[in-house]
Amino acid sequence: QVQLVESGGGSVQAGGSLSLSCAGSGFTYSTTCMGWFRQAPGKEREGVAVIYSRDGSSFYTDSVKGRFTISQDNSTSTATNTVHLQMNSLKPEDTAMYYCVALIYGGRCPPLVPKNFRAWGQGTRVTVSS
């Protein structure tokens, strides 16, 4: 069973930076897609960024391009993988609960919609004040 544990997050003023990490375990396929969604109060969950484990290719939603960077550790184990989200030039509209996501069955990254990802972390809160 895939398990995802997020760390990082917190509160920062606009223009500041924060970093999130997600430690994934229980993977049974050699390649997978991991990434981040977020949900602001009263809004739907929004895909933020994903990364494909095999070649490190990534995709970002337009609102975070140039400010957020997703990366992964070079894991030697098929069962584990860790991804990071470096968030710079944060804006108040980035305030949300951030969730780590992953594919259970491996493969390339699908479109950034919640139903495409079966594994979710518990979430970590990011608050950006103006």
The partner residues of 69 in beta bridges, in order of sequence, read: 86
Residue from 33, 78, 37, 38 nearest 56 by CA: 33
Amino acid occupying residue 80: T
pLDDT, tens digit (0-9, with 9 covering 90-100), for 27-73: 888 788 999 999 999 999 999 999 999 899 999 999 999 999 999 99
Give the pLDDT band (50/70/90) at residue 86.
Answer: very high
Of all residues in the chain, the percent with pLDDT exceeding 90 is: 84
- Provide, rounded to the nearest whole percent, the portion of the chain with pLDDT above 70: 100
Q: Are 5 and 119 in contact (CB under 8 A)?
A: no
What pLDDT was estimated at residue 18?
98
Give the separation between CA 54 and CA 3, rounded to whole angstroms.
Answer: 19
Q: DSSP H helical segments within 1-130, as ranges? A: none
pLDDT band at 105 (very low <50, low <70, confident <90, very high): confident
